[in-house]
Amino acid sequence: MWIQIKTAAAFAFVALLALATASQEGVRYNSDPPFGVVLLAHGGKTNWNDEVLKLAAAVDKEVPVEVAFGMASKRNIQQAVDKLAARGVKKIIAVPLFISSHSSVITSTEYLLGQRDSAPRELAVFAKMSHGSDGGHGASHGSENSFDPTTPVKSSVPIRISPALNAHELVGEILLSRAVDISRKPENEVVVIVAHGPVGDEENGRWLADMRVLADMVRSKSKFKRIEYLTVRDDAPEPVRSKAAAELRAVVRHAMDENSNVLIVPLLLAYGGIEEGIKKRLEGLTYTMSKQALLPDERLVQWVRLSVKSLKDKK
């Protein structure tokens, strides 16, 4: 048994090493590729990042891909842009692997990529973060004095950026799959889609508008009793955060009071911490949570391809 465990561990190490190499170097192409992709992702724990790297490796079989982890991290984005330029691309498409485009992270990234004329004030906050491979939120240390993290990246080729996941049909399909996977008697089940959400009220309203579209998709293709959706707004100050938690508990409690079974389906890219906060908010209540977030899922590879296709021929 011990030999089997060590053998499995060795194979896992080799696989991860190969994945990391593929992410950094990509595959060899017969000719100079016309465009490449910067896959933007928040970053998290090792298992969170691994799912993003696997997705990147799948797309990289067709087109050069480099991953930039972090929250509007100029340093990581610049490195990804430079690697793609070195791989001979003539155009770069940045694809934000984020739940929503309605956030200061995305607007700050748009500025860094030259898609906005002025920098959002939040960029100064993001610039002070460490942005390690986990997309860390700590303060930055040991940066070169000559490097300014608040100015746009430099690129020898044009860059375009696509929308985040938002209310894409493929996201709705994945959410439906996650709910069906834990469903037993849909006509007596209330599905609750829960997202992290932004800080500001206006942006939260836009998140909820997209989530309403996703909820309608799930509703139209299922027989669930009801589909609810809301955000928990982890990063918002009190009393906003407490109000969001109370709303979540109220939705679940109402379903329980009517003898419905509750299915919690987090609208998260990958599990790595936020889902634990959702569980803590629901302590003492009865529910079933989906076994995984959006990743891993082949449909997200398809989403990246579609995002690229929508922009690759535009000037």
Query: 175 and 122, same structural domain?
Result: no
Query: 188 and 135, same structural domain?
Result: no
How, if at all, do strands 36-41 and 226-231 pair? unpaired
Query: 120 and 199, same structural domain?
Result: no
Which domain does 85 fall in, by range?
2-165+297-311
Note the pLDDT of residue 201. 95
Note the pLDDT of residue 147. 84
Note the pLDDT of residue 31. 52
d(CA 56, CA 52): 6
User: Tell me: the pLDDT tens digits for 222-272?
Assistant: 999 999 999 999 999 999 999 999 999 999 999 999 999 999 999 999 988
Query: What tokens were used for 310?
Result: 């929508």
d(CA 162, CA 157): 16
Closest CA to 175 of 195, 197, 201: 195
Query: 149 and 84, same structural domain?
Result: yes
Omega before 296 within 30 of 0, i.e. cis: yes
Q: To 10 degrees, what angle do helices 46-60 and 298-311 make?
A: 50
Query: 228 and 137, same structural domain?
Result: no
Query: 107 and 11, same structural domain?
Result: yes
Q: Which residues are 303's β-sheet partners?
A: none
Cβ-in-10-Å burial (0-12, 13-18, 19+) of 187 comes to: exposed
> Is residue 206 within 8 Å of 102, Cβ to Cβ?
yes
What is the helix (H) or strand (E) element at residue 144, kind and residue range?
none
Query: 187 and 199, same structural domain?
Result: yes
Map residue 87 onto helix, strand or coil.
coil
d(CA 132, CA 199): 23
Omega before 96 within 30 of 0, i.e. cis: no
What is the helix (H) or strand (E) element at residue 153, kind and residue range?
none
Query: 156 and 24, same structural domain?
Result: yes
Query: What tokens were used for 175?
Result: 């959410």
The domain total for the chain is 2
> Is residue 252 within 8 Å of 284, Cβ to Cβ?
no
Note the pLDDT of residue 164. 98
Query: What tokens were used for 93?
Result: 């498409």
pTM summary value:
0.84
Map residue 263 onto helix, strand or coil.
strand
Query: 26 and 146, same structural domain?
Result: yes
Query: 239 and 95, same structural domain?
Result: no
Note the pLDDT of residue 2. 38
Note the pLDDT of residue 132. 57
Note the pLDDT of residue 32. 62
Note the pLDDT of residue 150. 92
Low pLDDT (below 70) residues in the chain: 1-32, 130-145, 315
In this structure, is the dihedral angle defined by the CA atoms of residues 132, 137, 141 and 145, taken in order, positive or negative?
positive
Query: 130 and 6, same structural domain?
Result: yes
CATH number at residue 57: 3.40.50.1400
**DSSP tag of 139:** B
Query: 269 and 179, same structural domain?
Result: yes
Percent helix, percent strand, percent coil in the chain, to nearest 5: 45, 15, 40
